[in-house]
């Protein structure tokens, strides 16, 4: 059996390892489109930026012989097209790789801002190790950085930029930081925190054009304001890396559409990770939850099925934990709540603490927190298992800080 | 046979000797705030509930870690955080549905129970037998495990 | 050095909090907690000070072993001049508050002056600040604790507070921490209230890392815990039955003071005993006792957690009392029950809950009710004056009196003055069962002679915890003495008083002394603290502390005549039981005791004694 996996990220590598566990004899090849020294975790990039780790610290696995020991072939090269009829993958360099089972795990690619000057040399995004290297190379204390975007990635790299002494301006089109992960009040608190730590936060504005200005850049905003910059960072979100699949016949909406077994519409072809669009376990809708734990779990399920098993994915759950200059925030599931559902919001601006819980009938469906780090995992537990809360729903509405007690009382009666 | 921590909340008096033992074992300081085992107090029912990682089979924390900082100790079965590798991303803390792996701001890393290399200090310190270290088959964690299964139909279906 | 070496000085008048280094020279002479805080206190406060004036100070203090794995190592004490007694006061409490204070990095907090408005002190590690407590004033300790935890968004914040009793000037108000643990006696809560200080909230995440020799220390604590576990009292009796194990024992000995000490045996003792607490009650088929509980670090776990009978008249429509909560300890069960001839367990629990909720001492309160009931039976107090019929044995009266005392309403105001002031007011000071205005605990000094001397010479007024000779006279610890004789008791009391001073200054619970002698404590202290803590040094420290307290009291105006028992115990013989026909031999024991102490006939320490102790 020939397993071919496109993409050497969290999903691709997890699937390869799982396949090896299930099928000692199979041939397993992972196509690595970036050609780095070893497969790495994008998630570790913020810590490389802040100099907490060296490049090797981003590697997905510690042991240099890991892949050899497991007989997983890491093949450098980029896929250009998939030919499902011939069961072949064509590479950019012209090579052709056959497969019996194919897993597409190509992750996301950063969205491109459509503004003049986006291809100038001082303009970067922050998605790959190569991007990180380029940023680090041009960052000095006092370097003026204009960053467009304050989504998850935009926020989590602020620490790295500031720790290297950047003079940082963050532009936010919507005016709200991490608006896809946090309710307005919580967004505001994070923005306030950043401002207090010396970041220039500019809401409700965006870049109109970028121009070269001697050795630096001139960033003109839609408001007409002009900002001088040494580096322009464009972090305006990501989209699934599926362009190379056009015309392959693989069904795609936002991402690759998969069923609970991670199968695409075509036999023998699976998808997992940021690239896959699957059922969300709280909303029940097909959507992309582009986060690491999801990528890993989907990859595990995909591999189980590729190896001939029958395993269902319970659905993805949006869970995020973000560290913005030391302020830790989390969001889980349907943190926005649902119409008619009960909810409670505890706001302590002075101490940068925030907690919001959102309920369905008798269950927790979503949560957001700032400044809470102990036992937050149980929020996931309560949401994902739809644990009936009974009397604890009222208690949580009265005092959301008792979520750990609620969890123990409702889920750990055995304890 | 691998052993695991067996917890009998009915025996717990809330003395916190376990929390002190845990913090001393791991940090050389008596400080309950840093303990990896926690006693939860249900005042109104007169119940104290000791709670820590069960080294669950699913190992959500280990799976979620992007940099392989959580490893399985083959001897004890513990999922152990390697602090030198951990980048402090905290994704494990939201992945574990039991809330038993937590971020420590002071170190910038996460911490969880590692079974003290097979000689758990909390069990030794507990004066009442509320925490014991026994052969895994004998523990009352089946319920917790079953519950854990609920978060993971996949494992059940394929098992 | 197990001390944190930090003292927090809180000036309530000016609203400031300042840190200062601990006087380590004094630490070597007075160890910690009771001894060291008293040293600070007597050095800074005029003995003649009015306890309720701003010039009085109040010190909350931990010991060197507080916040360590030494069994019971979670204690803290409150040292001040007692509101009830006018004598030196030191009330000791367990729970979790003391350890948290230590974890935050403080050996003690010295409160000075008086705040203009109600405030509470908030401590998070080295950050201390006074916060407005207007919204907490007038509220119970339970409400205060819950509110503060919620405001701090941290259920692990530990709180001690006063309830309405402390605010309303009940003279025996206590400070309650962790819902049902109390620094209970002598009116330390009254002093706190007089300073407009509602509560202290503390969160500590620094911990104790300053043990001198950690390895030796851990070994010593393990060995000492084993001693506790192997001992019948601390290993079995107390965890199973709590202090209530004593109810039937003491009653059989004819040493259970009943109806204001008219009798020495209570015919309904069994109904309010540990055994009764464990039995299933007919009303709901559940036992009163839910479980036992430990304070921080305690491997004994004598604490009782009870659930009151929801159908009992006292709580029928009050679900707020139906949950599990702190249950009856022996002294409380006796004071609320036998002392008043009341054998209704649930009624006692209700009164006990009110004591915890609003912060007043059940011993002093119960004994004061006993005095009031006697005055009522003698016709000196009338139904109109009290607001109800109040004969001995009335459970209803005990419950209602607890309510009116908590609220400071009607006759409750008089009950709140304590039995000495009450009996004085109604012209029968002889009926007050007190020493230095503090009510007796649950042992009759006619049947346990050593306790008579203990009460008479206790520096904080009548108290069993200054030298618990019951251990020897009843339980045979460390050796058995005959409770009915006076011979040898002076020496026994002195030895117990000095040793107890050390235990109270170390950070551990005095209940360990059922199993531990100084020789068990010494290795733990020595491994923890710098300074070569030998047995000799400890013995001397204990004696030094006792004499220091004595000097303060003498300077405050106390004399030998205050080291005496009420006439009833000296003239009215025990009517029943093994001590039938006996009165207290206090007058025989006292001179011998003075002599052993190196005090003159007036109870004043001689020059040599003071010189020997470096005082
Ligand atoms: C800075 C940063 C911080 C992040 N922080 C978090 C976080 O804290 N928590 C969290 O949950 N998530 C975080 N993420 C997101 C997380 O990294 C992704 O969800 C995760 O990497 C998805 O894994 P994946 O395997 O699906 O895709 P990826 O990890 O993106 O892997 C895709 C792989 O496919 C390869 N590839 C792509 N196209 C081709 C092709 N045509 N041919 C061959 N190979 C190809 C790529 O080179 C790559 O190796 C972060 C991302 C970034 C960039
Ligand atoms: S920390 Fe949580 S996920 Fe990790 S082993 Fe323990 S229980 Fe399982
Ligand atoms: S916080 Fe550390 S251990 Fe946890 S997932 Fe991140 S890198 Fe791994
Ligand atoms: S040591 Fe044992 S009895 Fe004490 S708190 Fe821990 S589990 Fe409970």
Write the CB contacts of A4 (distance below 8 Å, at least 6 apart in sequence).
A29, A31, A89, A97, A98, A99, A101, A102, A103
Q: Judge: C155–A353 Cβ closer than 8 Å, yes or no.
A: no
Distance from C-alpha of B46 to C-alpha of A261, rounded to nearest angstrom: 46
Q: What CATH number matches the domain at C449-613, 1.10.599.10, 3.40.50.300, 1.20.120.1080, 1.10.645.10?
A: 1.10.599.10
A282 band by pLDDT with thresholds 50, 70 and 90: confident
Instruction: Write the pLDDT tens digit of every residue in C439-478.
Output: 999 999 999 999 999 999 999 999 999 999 999 999 998 8
A132 and A104 within one domain: no
pLDDT of residue A25: 95
Residue C352 confidence (pLDDT):
97
Kind of pairing between the strands at C175-177 and C289-293: unpaired
CA distances from A95 to A77, A175, C107 (A): 9, 47, 74
- How does residue B126 score in pLDDT terms, banded at 50, 70 and 90? very high
Q: Given this model, what pLDDT does residue C1 score?
A: 60
- The answer to whether residue B158 is domain-embedded is no
Residue B45: the pLDDT is 87
Tell me how far the alpha carbon of residue C393 lies from the centroid of ligand 1, in angstroms.
Answer: 78
Identify all chain B residues contacting C294, using CB atoms and an 8 Å cutoff: 13-15
- Is the minimum distance from the CB of B95 to ligand 1 under 6 angstroms? no
Contact A345, A183 (CB under 8 A): yes
Strand order in the sheet with A276-279: A256-257, A276-279, A286-287
How high is the pLDDT of residue A411? Answer: 84
**Does the CB of B153 have a partner CB in chain C at under 8 Å?**
no
| Across A384-406, average pLDDT | 93
First to last CA, chain C: 24
Whether A276 shows a pLDDT value over 80: the answer reads yes
Ligand nearest to the CA of B73: 2
Q: Is the pLDDT of residue B141 over 60?
A: no
Residue C478 preceded by cis peptide, ω within 30: yes
Q: What is the pLDDT of residues A239-253, one digit of tens each?
A: 999 999 999 999 999
Distance CA A259, CA C409 (A): 72
Beta carbons within 8 Å of C60's beta carbon, 6+ residues apart: C76, C77, C78, C101, C108, C109, C111, C160, C200
- Reduce the DSSP state of residue A320 to 3 states and report it: strand
Closest CA to C218 of B128, B25, B129: B25
Do residue B89 and residue B121 come from a single domain? no
What is the distance between the alpha carbons of residues C553 and A273, in angstroms, rounded to a whole number? 78
Pick the atom of ligand 4 nearest to B21's CA.
Answer: 1
Model confidence pLDDT, tens digit, residues C477-532 = 889 999 999 999 999 999 999 999 999 999 999 999 999 999 999 999 999 999 99
Please give the average per-residue pLDDT across A65-73, as a whole number.
97
CATH topology of domain C240-439: 1.10.569
What would the mean pLDDT of A359-370 be, rounded to a whole number? Answer: 96
- What is the percent of chain B with per-residue pLDDT over 90, rounded to a whole number? 75
CA distance A108 to A237: 10
Domain residues for B13?
Answer: 1-52+115-147
- Centroid of ligand 2 to alpha carbon of A380 (angstroms): 13
Going A175 to A176 to A179 to A183, the CA torsion angle's sign is negative
B66 CA → ligand 3 middle, Å: 7
Is B43 in the same domain as B71? no
Q: What is the CA radius of gyration of chain A?
A: 22
Taking only the tens place, the pLDDT of each residue in A172-192 is 999 899 999 999 999 999 999
Is B19 inside a domain boundary? Answer: yes
Question: What interface predicted TM-score (ipTM) does this complex get?
Answer: 0.93
pLDDT confidence tier of residue A220, bands split at 50, 70 and 90: very high
Q: pLDDT value at position B150?
A: 39
Is the pLDDT at A39 greater than 60? The verdict is: yes
What SS3 state is found at B128?
Answer: coil
In CATH, the architecture of C6-203 is: 4-Layer Sandwich (3.60)
Taking residues C10-19, what's their average pLDDT?
98
Tell whether B126 and B107 lie within a shared domain.
Answer: no
Closest CA to C46 of C34, C55, C54: C55
Q: Looking at residue C235, what DSSP letter applies?
A: I
DSSP H/E element including C356: helix C345-358
> In terms of domains, do B71 and B105 share one?
yes
Predicted local distance difference test score (pLDDT) of residue C84: 97
Q: Per the structure block, which two tokens stand in for C194?
A: 């007089």
Q: Tell me, what DSSP letter sits at residue A273? A: G
Residue B13 is assigned to a structural domain of this protein: yes
Please write the tens of the pLDDT for every residue from A311-351. 998 888 899 999 999 999 999 999 999 999 999 999 999 99
Sign of the C-alpha dihedral computed for residues C508, C512, C516 and C518 taken in this order = positive
Same domain assignment for residues A294 and A373? no
H/E element, C275: helix C274-278
pLDDT at B137: 67
Is A244 close to ligand 1, i.e. is its CB under 6 Å away?
Answer: yes
Q: Are A132 and A45 in contact (CB under 8 A)?
A: yes
A4 phi/psi in degrees, rounded to 5: -120, 130
Q: What is the distance in A from the centroid of ligand 2 to the CA of B56?
A: 5
What's the average model confidence in pLDDT over C51-72? 97
Would you state the pLDDT for residue A79?
97
Ligand nearest to the CA of A57: 3
pLDDT at C261: 97
E strands, C426-558, in order: 434-435, 438-439
A409/B90 Cβ within 8 A: no
In a shared domain, residues A288 and A350: no
Any domain includes A116: no
Q: What average pLDDT does this structure show over A268-285?
A: 90
Q: Per-residue pLDDT for A305 more than 90?
A: yes
* Residue B147, pLDDT score: 40
In this predicted model, what pLDDT tens digit does every residue of B32-60 receive, in sequence order?
Answer: 999 999 999 998 888 999 999 999 988 99
- Please say if the pLDDT value at position A357 is more than 60: yes
Angle between helices C362-377 and C345-358 (to 10 degrees): 120
Co-location of A79 and A165 in the same domain:
no
Burial class (CB in 10 A: 0-12, 13-18, 19+), A22: middle
Which ligand lies nearest to the CA atom of residue A293 in the structure? Answer: 1
Q: Quick one: pLDDT at residue B136?
A: 75
Question: Does the structure show a pLDDT above 50 at C111?
Answer: yes
Is C294 touching B (CB cutoff 8 A)?
yes
Give the mean pLDDT of chain A.
95
CB contact under 8 A, A353 and C150: no
Average pLDDT, chain B: 86
DSSP label at C59? Answer: E
The pLDDT-based confidence of A284 (bands split at 50, 70, 90) is: confident
Task: Specify the 3-state DSSP secondary structure of C445.
Answer: coil
> How far, CA to CA in Å, does C19 sit from each of A316, C7, C128, C346?
53, 6, 9, 46
Mean pLDDT over C61-84 rounds to 97
3-state secondary structure of C153: coil
Confidence of residue B140 (pLDDT cuts 50, 70, 90): very low
From the list C246, C254, C449, C443, the residue with the least C-alpha distance to C363 is: C443
Q: Which residue has the tokens 């409160």?
A: C111
Under the banding of pLDDT at 50, 70 and 90, the label for residue B138 is low
Instruction: Please state whether C138 falls in left (phi above 0), alpha (psi between -120 and 50) or beta.
Output: left
Test C150 with A401 for CB contact under 8 angstroms. Answer: yes
State yes or no: pLDDT of B146 exceeds 50. Answer: no
The CATH number of the domain where B102 resides is what? 3.30.70.20
- What the block records as the tokens of C424 is 């004085």
In the numeric block, the tokens 């926005």 are attached to A336
Q: What would the two tokens of residue C454 be?
A: 């203990």
How many structural domains is chain B composed of? 2
Statement: residue B145 has pLDDT above 60: no
**Directed axis angle between helix C395-407 and helix C345-358, to 10°?**
10
The reply to whether B154 falls in a domain is: no
Closest CA to A311 of A48, A22, A3, A16: A22
Q: Which residues contact C108 (CB under 8 A, 6 or more apart)?
A: C7, C8, C22, C36, C37, C40, C59, C60, C61, C62
Neighbours of A91 (CB within 10 A): 18
CATH number of the domain within which A168 lies: 3.50.50.60
Distance set, CA B21 to CA A319, B28, C96, C141 (Å): 33, 9, 16, 31
Question: Please, which residues bridge with residue A108 across strands?
Answer: A240
Q: Is residue A132 part of a domain?
A: yes
From-to residues of CATH 3.60.9.10 in chain C: 6-203
| 3-class state of residue C58 by DSSP | strand
User: Which residues are A169's β-sheet partners?
Assistant: A146, A200
A287: pLDDT confidence band, cut at 50, 70 and 90?
confident
C264 in Cβ contact with C257 (< 8 Å): yes
> What pLDDT, on a 0 to 100 scale, did the predictor assign at position B139?
54
Would residue A118 count as lying in a domain? no
| Rounded Cα distance, B2 and B55, in Å | 11
Q: How many structural domains compose chain A?
A: 3
Q: Which atom of ligand 3 is nearest to the CA of B85?
A: 7
Same domain membership, residue B127 and residue B88: no
- Last residue in a domain, options A253, A273, A306: A306
Residues of chain C with CATH 1.10.599.10: 449-613
Alpha-carbon gap: C9 to the closest alpha carbon of chain A (Å): 26
Estimate the crossing angle of helix C489-506 against helix C535-556, to 10 degrees. 100
Three-state secondary structure call for residue A25: coil
Do the Cβ atoms of A220 and A211 come closer than 8 Å?
A: yes
Q: Is residue B156 part of a domain?
A: no
**Pairing verdict, β B3-7 and A286-287:** unpaired
Q: Are residues B87 and B132 in the same domain?
A: no
Predicted pLDDT of residue A222: 94
Q: In the structure encoding, which two tokens stand for residue A14, read together? A: 């997890």
Q: What's the average model confidence in pLDDT over A59-86?
A: 96
Could you tell me the two tokens for C262? 């008219």
A414 band by pLDDT with thresholds 50, 70 and 90: very low
Count of helices and strands (H, E) across chain A: 11, 26
Integer-rounded Cα Rg, in Å, for chain C is 22
pLDDT in tens, C210-232: 899 999 999 999 999 999 999 99
Give dist(CA C101, CA C126) in Å, integer. 10
Average pLDDT on B136-147 reads 52
Residues with CB under 6 A from ligand 4: B 12-18, 39, 48, 50, 125-126, 128, 130-131
- Give the domain range for residue A221: 123-236
CA-to-CA distance for B99 and B92, rounded, in angstroms? 10
Work out the burial of residue C580: count CB atoms within 10 Å of its CB; fewer than 13 is exposed, 13-18 middle, 19 or more buried: middle
State which ligand 3 atom lies nearest to the alpha carbon of B95. 5
Q: Are residues B99 and B62 part of one domain?
A: yes
Average pLDDT of the residues in B78-97: 96
Do residues C497 and C546 make contact, with C-beta atoms less than 8 angstroms apart?
yes
Dist. CA A116–CA A196, nearest whole Å: 32
pLDDT at position B2 = 82
Q: Is the pLDDT of residue A80 over 70?
A: yes
Sequence-ordered list of residues with C-beta below 8 angstroms from that of A308, at least 6 positions apart, any chain? A22
Domain shared by A59 and A164, yes or no? no
For A62, name the nearest residue in chain B, comparing CA atoms only: B68
What per-residue confidence (pLDDT) applies to C396?
97
State the DSSP code for C281: P
Residue range C237-245: average pLDDT? Answer: 92
Q: Looking at the domain assignment, is residue A313 inside a domain?
A: no
């Amino acid at each position: 059996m020939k397993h071919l996996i496109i993409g050497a990220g969290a999903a691709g590598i997890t699937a390869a390892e799982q396949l090896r566990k299930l099928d000692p004899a199979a041939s397993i090849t992972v196509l690595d489109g970036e050609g780095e020294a070893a497969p790495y975790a994008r998630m570790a990039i913020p810590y490389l930026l802040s100099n907490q780790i060296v490049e090797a610290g981003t590697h997905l696995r510690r042991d240099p012989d890991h892949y050899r020991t497991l007989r997983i072939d890491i093949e450098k090269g980029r896929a250009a097209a998939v030919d499902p009829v011939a069961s072949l993958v064509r590479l950019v360099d012209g090579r052709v790789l056959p497969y019996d089972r194919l897993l597409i795990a190509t992750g996301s690619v950063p969205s491109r801002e459509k503004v003049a000057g986006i291809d100038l040399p001082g303009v970067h995004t922050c998605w790959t190790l190569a991007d990180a290297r380029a940023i680090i190379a041009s960052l000095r204390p006092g370097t003026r950085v204009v960053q467009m975007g304050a989504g998850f990635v935009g926020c989590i790299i602020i620490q790295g930029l500031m720790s290297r002494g950047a003079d940082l301006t963050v532009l936010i089109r919507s005016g709200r930081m991490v608006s896809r992960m946090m309710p307005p009040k919580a967004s505001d608190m994070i923005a306030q925190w950043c401002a207090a730590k010396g970041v220039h936060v500019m809401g409700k504005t965006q870049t109109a054009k970028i121009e070269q200005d001697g050795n630096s850049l001139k960033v003109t905003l839609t408001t007409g304001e002009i900002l001088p910059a040494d580096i322009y960072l464009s972090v305006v979100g990501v989209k699934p890396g599926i362009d190379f699949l056009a015309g392959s016949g693989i069904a795609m909406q936002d991402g690759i559409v998969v069923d609970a077994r991670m199968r695409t519409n075509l036999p023998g072809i699976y998808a997992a990770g940021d690239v896959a669009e699957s059922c969300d376990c709280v909303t029940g809708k097909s959507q992309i939850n582009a986060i690491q734990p999801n990528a890993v779990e989907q990859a595990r399920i995909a591999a189980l099925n590729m190896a001939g098993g029958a395993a269902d994915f319970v659905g993805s759950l949006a869970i995020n934990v973000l560290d913005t200059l030391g302020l830790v925030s989390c969001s889980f599931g349907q943190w926005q709540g649902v119409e008619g559902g009960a909810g409670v919001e505890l706001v302590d601006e002075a101490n940068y603490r925030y907690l919001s819980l959102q309920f369905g009938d008798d269950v927790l469906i979503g949560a957001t927190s700032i400044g809470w780090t102990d036992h937050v995992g149980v929020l996931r537990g309560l949401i994902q298992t739809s644990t009936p809360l009974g009397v604890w729903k009222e208690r949580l509405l009265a005092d959301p800080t008792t979520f750990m007690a609620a969890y123990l009382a409702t889920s750990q009666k055995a304890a | 046979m691998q052993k695991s921590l067996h917890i009998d909340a009915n025996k717990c008096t809330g003395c916190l000797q376990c929390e002190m033992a845990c913090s001393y074992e791991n940090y050389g300081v008596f400080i309950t705030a840093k303990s990896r085992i926690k006693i939860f107090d249900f005042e109104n029912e007169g119940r104290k509930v000791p709670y820590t990682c069960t080294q669950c089979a699913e190992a959500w924390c280990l799976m979620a870690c992007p940099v392989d900082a959580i490893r399985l100790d083959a001897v004890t079965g513990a999922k152990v955080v390697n602090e030198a590798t951990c980048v402090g991303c905290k994704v494990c803390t939201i992945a574990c549905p039991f809330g038993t792996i937590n971020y420590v701001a002071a170190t910038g890393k996460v911490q969880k129970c590692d079974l003290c290399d097979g000689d758990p200090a909390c069990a030794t310190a507990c004066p009442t037998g509320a925490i014991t270290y026994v052969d895994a088959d004998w523990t009352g964690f089946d319920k917790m495990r079953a519950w854990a299964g609920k978060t993971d139909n996949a494992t059940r279906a394929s098992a | 050095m197990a001390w944190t070496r930090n003292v927090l000085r809180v000036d309530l008048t000016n609203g400031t909090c300042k840190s200062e280094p601990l006087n380590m020279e004094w630490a070597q002479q007075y160890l910690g907690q009771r001894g060291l805080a008293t040293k600070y206190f007597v050095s800074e406060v005029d003995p003649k000070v009015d306890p309720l004036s701003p010039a009085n100070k109040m010190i909350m203090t931990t010991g060197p072993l507080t916040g360590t794995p030494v069994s019971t190592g979670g204690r803290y004490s409150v040292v001040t001049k007692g509101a009830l007694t006018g004598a030196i006061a030191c009330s000791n409490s367990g729970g979790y508050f003391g350890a948290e204070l230590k974890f935050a990095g403080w050996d003690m907090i010295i409160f000075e002056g008086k705040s203009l408005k109600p405030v509470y002190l908030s401590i998070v590690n080295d950050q201390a600040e006074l916060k407005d407590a207007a919204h907490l004033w007038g509220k119970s300790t339970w409400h205060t604790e819950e509110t503060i935890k919620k405001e701090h968004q941290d259920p692990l914040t530990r709180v001690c507070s006063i309830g309405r009793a402390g605010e309303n000037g009940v003279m025996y108000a206590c400070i309650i921490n962790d819902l049902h643990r109390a620094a209970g006696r002598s009116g330390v809560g009254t002093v706190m209230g007089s300073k407009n200080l509602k509560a202290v909230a503390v969160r500590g995440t620094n911990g104790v890392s300053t043990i001198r020799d950690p390895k030796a220390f851990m070994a010593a604590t393990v060995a000492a815990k084993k001693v506790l576990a192997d001992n019948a009292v601390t290993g079995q009796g107390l965890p199973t039955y709590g202090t209530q194990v004593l109810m039937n024992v003491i009653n059989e000995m004819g040493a259970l003071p009943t109806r204001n000490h008219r009798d020495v045996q209570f015919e309904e003792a069994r109904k309010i005993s540990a055994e009764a607490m464990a039995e299933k009650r007919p009303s709901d088929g559940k036992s009163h006792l839910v479980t036992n509980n430990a304070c921080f670090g305690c491997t004994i776990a004598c604490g009782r957690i009870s659930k009151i009978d929801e159908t009992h008249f006292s709580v029928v429509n009050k679900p707020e009392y139906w949950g599990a909560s702190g249950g009856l300890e022996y002294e409380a069960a006796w004071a609320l029950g036998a002392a008043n001839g009341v054998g209704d367990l649930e009624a006692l629990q209700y009164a006990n809950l009110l004591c915890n909720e609003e912060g007043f001492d059940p011993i002093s309160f119960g004994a004061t009710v006993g005095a009031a009931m006697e005055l009522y039976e003698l016709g000196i107090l009338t139904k109109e004056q009290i607001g109800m019929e109040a004969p001995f044995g009335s459970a209803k009266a005990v419950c209602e009196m607890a309510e009116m005392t908590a609220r400071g309403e009607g006759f409750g105001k008089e009950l709140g003055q304590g039995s000495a002031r009450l009996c004085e007011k109604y012209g029968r000071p002889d009926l007050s069962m007190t020493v230095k205005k503090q009510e007796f605990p649950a042992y009759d000094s006619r049947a346990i002679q050593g306790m008579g001397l203990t009460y008479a010479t206790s520096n904080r007024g009548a108290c069993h915890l200054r030298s618990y000779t019951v251990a020897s006279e009843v339980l045979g610890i460390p050796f058995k003495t005959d409770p009915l004789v006076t011979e040898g008791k002076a020496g026994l009391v002195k030895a117990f008083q000095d040793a107890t001073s050390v235990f109270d200054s170390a950070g551990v619970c005095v209940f360990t002394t059922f199993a531990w002698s100084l020789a068990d404590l010494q290795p733990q202290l020595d491994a923890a603290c710098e300074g070569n803590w030998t047995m000799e040094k400890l013995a001397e420290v204990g004696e030094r502390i006792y004499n220091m307290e004595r000097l303060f009291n003498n300077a405050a105006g106390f004399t030998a005549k205050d080291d005496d028992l009420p006439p009833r115990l000296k003239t009215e013989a025990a009517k029943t039981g093994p001590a039938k026909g006996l009165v207290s031999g206090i007058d025989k024991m006292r001179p011998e005791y003075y002599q052993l102490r190196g005090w003159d006939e007036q109870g004043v320490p001689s020059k040599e004694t003071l010189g020997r102790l470096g005082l």
